[in-house]
Structure 1
Amino acid sequence: MRAVALLAERPADAPPAVGPEGIDSAGFRLTPETAESLRALDLARVAEAPARRVLILDRPEGRAAALAERFRALGADVEEAPFPDHARLMSSVQHAALDCSAFTRAPAWLAQDVAPGVAPAGTGRTVEAPSPRLRLPGAVERPLRFGPGAGLFGILCEPVAAAAERPAVLLLNSGATPHSGTGRMSVRLARRLAARGIASLRLDLGGLGDSASKPGRRDGLIYCRDMVEDAQAGLDALAAAGHGAAVAVGLCAGAAVALHVALADPRTIGLVLVNPGRFVLGEGVTQEEAIGSAVKPAAAYLPRLTEPAVWRAILRQDRKASRVARGLSERAARRLRIGAGRLRAGLTGRGYARDDVLHAFQALTDRGVRTLMVHSAGDVTLGELEAQAGADGGRLRRMGGLWMERLAGADHSLMERAARERFGDLLDELLDRIGTGATGAVRGQGPGPPEGTGALRVNHATGNSPA
């Protein structure tokens, strides 16, 4: 419990990790009752065997032999085996290995206790098992296989009582995280939406989560151009379930896919982008490469240029300093190129740069797509926003049909509970605007920032009123 509390790093302005309601860490909350139960847990002192058969996989430096003897003394049939892949499996998600021997050993061990099946006498007719469904208060969830060769996977969450004429929500992967979302954020969002009568599909794009690998491409890549087709297959799956229009929601790399599926498919009538690290798709990069290439807004580095240590790092070509300098210079060159394309288009009517985000958002605005863009205060992705639209996204903030929000006290993945709740409120507000055509007050909260006026509302993810 001490380790969980210590590992719960908090962004600036976030509430403390440990409070009267428990411990908040990585998007999860341990209640005081759960924490106390875990503190009291001591497997070496259990009075009964936990099961008739027990498999213990122990890491090389582990000390589970005494535990195995304790279970045997209680009458359990205990099998011990090494767990050589433990360190690789428990590393960061960018390096964690999937080819773990324990994943093969455990099901084989379980199968030893299963009696071989006996074919029933009779006609030999094949009876398909009913489609699995999870029934929750106010919602029903079921898994879907769809897309080419049924290679894509997602969870359709539908309300028991659907709201009339409301679009569904397409929840895309956050970076390379599976469809459940970081800290189960997508699961919680889906069920929150269902409580409001709104259906959703949280899906895994190709090569991520439970979806099949892409031919000729390694798994785990993000910002891939062909993911737009996967997202469109998700729209097809929603349409097959009776949901013709949708709002695409993406965080980090998922935001870039959401943007491009909105550009490609008119069934997307709303768009939510949360901390988009890039706006352009390509052949794909690893999550580690994307993190390593991210550069903050220029203003974040300017004050440090007066420090001699910074110049020494630049002159000796320090890796981090070189990366930042290269990123800022590439950003400046890109802004010049995009600006030249806009000038050319203004004179000739064509010639926008392919990565001109303002042109893309203008096309969505002209089509009537409502867009919400959310950034965590101080997030590194604000650098990409600056590169495309100027400081604080000024050019985008003057565009109709789009409004921007800044979440104080929030990390990149919105793992803070208060930040998630505030984001959920913002998503509700967008859906209400789309569903009712409203541009003013929503649910009695008072008017949001007027679209296209340059207004930027900063929300404190502590439950306070917007500043």
Structure 2
Amino acid sequence: MGYIDLSGPGTATSRLRSAAVPVRFGGCAGLFNAAEATAPASDSAVLLVSPWGFEEMCLRKFHCEIGEALAAKGIACLRFDLPGTGDSADPAGDASLAGWRASVTAAAAELKRLSGARSVILAGHGLGATLALDAADGIDDVAGLALLAPVTSGRSYLRETALWWKMVAADLYLDPAADDGGGLSIAGLVLPAGITAELRNLKAAELRLARPLPVLLVGRSAAAGDEELATQLQAAGCPVERLVYEGYEALKTNPMRSRSPAAVIEGLAGWARMIAPNRAPGRTVATCREAGLAGDGFRETGIRFGDHGRLSGTLCEPAGPRRGASVLIVGTGYDRASGWGRMGVKTARGLAGRGIASLRFDAAGVGDSPPCPGDPDQVLYAPCIDRDVAAAVAELVRRVPGPTVLSGRCSGGYHAFRAALREPSCRGVVSVNSYAYVWDPDVDFNEALAGVARPLRDYSQRALNPKTFKRLMAGEVDVRRAGLNIARQIGRGIAGRFGPRIAALVHRNRLRADIENDFRRLQADGRLAALVYGDDDPGLEQFRMVFGHGGERLKHYPNVVRVSLGDSDHNVTSAEAQDRVIATIGDMALRVG
């Protein structure tokens, strides 16, 4: 194991910013930003407590930027995943708010150990803010509280989160009912039943502090609960600073479109610097090993790699003997590496149970990996992702010598496929619901992102829905775009069935030739490919262009198989579809290894 010196800046060079240092404690996975040496060192450090669910996915990059802003002001920062979420281990028993509060206490102790700070400032977002407030009395040397959009009513939170998810699901072309498992379930993430029951009894009047502390309340303009909490804390003697949460709704709607509110980041960092005393000379900080976490059949190590340790990832290895090829899990869009519905975590730990090692990581500008100078603001399908995939393959082979299998969903499947063509170690690729194998230069990315066509069956179902009719009459349905999408779907179906004669009339023929050449290269190199799709997935266009509407031309490519996910949604939310994907990846890794 290599040692990581936490006393240096660790967050910036003249060109690149390093990723935060991975840490593990009490079964929790965290990331630590050391205070930059160029700023006056603070004797307080900030603990960021995450919200739950899809909200946490949307805010991941935001929290990364908060950590960097605090470090630049000389304030160390630790952010972590609650038990049973993100990259943390699942709790041994039933999850509870008490267990989550205990993890906040453990994280505060770890932060003081890592940073050498005498006190901590607790900062949280959403449900994380409520946990921070609830845990504050049980933590020694708390210097202040930063509460961003805190949950002040458990019943309202559960009701509003469920309604909010229905709107988000519609924006992402998902069926929110598919997540309904009898409790609060969002994006494949289920809020534990015990915590759901406890939250129903949460009221603002119960959110108290035993001693007055400085408070920064970043509130939503129309949230009565924020006002009530501020008044309550002020009455208890707490000096409360107020900051309007500009951009809150847009931030938590979609990781692909969210933009971090710079005013909130700067306001939080400035407030923390104001209340935090400077550190006395001679205080030391910790040096730690690469962070490890063990579970049922697996052991994981949080790592930084690439130039200046700019990329953040997790190496997952089997607890027992290793078998087969190792697997690189390429991330999707702006989702953090743990994945939609923790799919990245489930895949890695499921593979480890079969003896297969894997690496999951965030590309630059995604999740916990800071952006690279010169990269575009929109990195999806960009060459810079290919650069980072190459760095991840090199790191995986360095740590686990031998053949590799590359896997990914949607844009991750595209980049995995492109890397499979050039990486010598790669013996197979599993591409799930990939929109493309070759990016069509005639397609405008932003237009494609905004108007990805829904499957025809989805349009027909919605057209028969009375709610759709009401939205249509109210002018809430984009009829022109829907009509164009239906026309495209019909056109694609015709082109897939009647083949080259129609495709030759348009530039699709050239694109098809490029894709065919790439699949021939895979075949010539003896590399396997599993193309995994839901039966109505919008990404099937290029598949049908090359292999026919029903895959009849697959017979010319004996190294390629089509795997059906049935009626799975594009994000592979259902447990059944996830299991099928994980099994396909594992089978290939064992076959080629």
TM-score range for the pair, normalised by the shorter chain length = 0.7 to 0.9
For residue 249 of structure 1, give the secondary structure of its aligned residue in structure 2.
Answer: strand
Please give the root-mean-square deviation of Cα atoms over the aligned residues, in Å. 3.9
> In terms of mean alpha carbon deviation, does 321-330 or 265-274 score higher?
321-330
Per-residue deviation at 1:297? 7.7
Per-residue deviation at 1:99? 3.7
Per-residue deviation at 1:390? 1.1
Matches within 5 A, 1:16-35: 17-19=180-182, 22-35=183-196
Corresponding residue of 2:159: 2
- Aligned equivalent of 1:40, options 201, 219, 225: 201
> In terms of mean alpha carbon deviation, does 153-162 or 411-420 score higher?
153-162
Could you tell me whether the CA contact under 8 Å between 2:492 and 2:541 is conserved in 1? no
Could you tell me whether the CA contact under 8 Å between 1:246 and 1:267 is conserved in 2? yes
1:154 aligned to 2:313? yes
* Aligned-residue identity in percent: 27
Deviations 1:201-247 (A, max 9, x none): 21223443333435444223312234323211111111221333211
Per-residue deviation at 1:258? 0.7
Alpha-carbon spacing, 1:331–1:292, altered in 2? closer, same or farther (3 Å):
farther
1:143 aligned to 2:303? yes
State how far apart, in whole Å, the 2-side matches of 1:230 and 1:337 are: 39
> In terms of mean alpha carbon deviation, does 322-331 or 169-178 score higher?
322-331
For residue 141 of structure 1, give the secondary structure of its aligned residue in structure 2.
Answer: strand
> In terms of mean alpha carbon deviation, does 64-73 or 167-176 score higher?
64-73
Could you tell me whether the CA contact under 8 Å between 2:246 and 2:261 is conserved in 1? no
Per-residue deviation at 1:252? 0.4
Alpha-carbon spacing, 1:49–1:382, altered in 2? closer, same or farther (3 Å):
farther
Could you tell me whether the CA contact under 8 Å between 1:225 and 1:284 is conserved in 2? no
State how far apart, in whole Å, the 2-side matches of 1:72 and 1:14 are: 42
Alpha-carbon spacing, 1:177–1:386, altered in 2? closer, same or farther (3 Å):
same
Alpha-carbon spacing, 1:13–1:91, altered in 2? closer, same or farther (3 Å):
closer
Could you tell me whether the CA contact under 8 Å between 2:184 and 2:190 is conserved in 1? yes
Per-residue deviation at 1:322? 3.8
Per-residue deviation at 1:292? 3.8
Could you tell me whether the CA contact under 8 Å between 2:327 and 2:358 is conserved in 1? yes
Deviations 1:102-140 (A, max 9, x none): 22222333344544233429xxxx987224403122312
Deviations 1:239-287 (A, max 9, x none): 2213332111110011111111100112111211000111114789887
Corresponding residue of 2:134: none
Per-residue deviation at 1:89? 2.0
1:257 aligned to 2:418? no
State how far apart, in whole Å, the 2-side matches of 1:409 and 1:326 are: 20
Counterpart code for 1:153: S
For residue 373 of structure 1, give the secondary structure of its aligned residue in structure 2.
Answer: strand
For residue 554 of structure 2, give the secondary structure of its aligned residue in structure 1.
Answer: helix
Could you tell me whether the CA contact under 8 Å between 1:167 and 1:243 is conserved in 2? no
State how far apart, in whole Å, the 1-side matches of 2:273 and 2:290 are: 22
Counterpart code for 1:391: H
Counterpart code for 1:18: G
Matches within 5 A, 1:170-181: 170-181=328-339
> In terms of mean alpha carbon deviation, does 30-39 or 261-270 score higher?
30-39
Alpha-carbon spacing, 1:337–1:120, altered in 2? closer, same or farther (3 Å):
farther
Counterpart code for 1:17: D
1:191 aligned to 2:353? no
State how far apart, in whole Å, the 2-side matches of 1:41 and 1:299 are: 42
Corresponding residue of 1:383: 541
Could you tell me whether the CA contact under 8 Å between 2:212 and 2:236 is conserved in 1? no
Corresponding residue of 1:269: 427
1:59 aligned to 2:217? no
Q: Mark the runs of 5 or more structure 1 residues left unpaired by the alignment.
A: 303-316, 342-350, 436-467
- Aligned equivalent of 2:377, options 198, 213, 219: 219
State how far apart, in whole Å, the 2-side matches of 1:51 and 1:240 are: 52
Deviations 1:21-72 (A, max 9, x none): x333212012221211121111323354598343211122222222122223
Per-residue deviation at 1:391? 0.5
Could you tell me whether the CA contact under 8 Å between 1:259 and 1:279 is conserved in 2? yes
> In terms of mean alpha carbon deviation, does 289-298 or 78-87 score higher?
289-298
For residue 530 of structure 2, give the secondary structure of its aligned residue in structure 1.
Answer: strand
State how far apart, in whole Å, the 2-side matches of 1:386 and 1:298 are: 15
Corresponding residue of 2:255: 93
Could you tell me whether the CA contact under 8 Å between 2:535 and 2:565 is conserved in 1? yes
For residue 232 of structure 1, give the secondary structure of its aligned residue in structure 2.
Answer: helix
Could you tell me whether the CA contact under 8 Å between 1:174 and 1:250 is conserved in 2? yes
- Aligned equivalent of 1:394, options 547, 552, 556: 552
State how far apart, in whole Å, the 2-side matches of 1:196 and 1:321 are: 47
Per-residue deviation at 1:174? 0.8
- Aligned equivalent of 1:104, options 266, 279, 297: 266
Q: Mark the runs of 5 or more structure 2 residues left unpaired by the alignment.
A: 1-157, 461-478
Per-residue deviation at 1:16? 6.2
State how far apart, in whole Å, the 1-side matches of 2:198 and 2:520 are: 55
Counterpart code for 1:211: S
State how far apart, in whole Å, the 2-side matches of 1:59 and 1:297 are: 37
Alpha-carbon spacing, 1:392–1:145, altered in 2? closer, same or farther (3 Å):
same
State how far apart, in whole Å, the 1-side matches of 2:229 and 2:459 are: 53
Could you tell me whether the CA contact under 8 Å between 2:332 and 2:410 is conserved in 1? yes
For residue 408 of structure 1, give the secondary structure of its aligned residue in structure 2.
Answer: coil
Per-residue deviation at 1:412? 0.5
Alpha-carbon spacing, 1:285–1:111, altered in 2? closer, same or farther (3 Å):
farther
For residue 376 of structure 2, give the secondary structure of its aligned residue in structure 1.
Answer: coil
Corresponding residue of 1:345: none
State how far apart, in whole Å, the 2-side matches of 1:256 and 1:190 are: 20
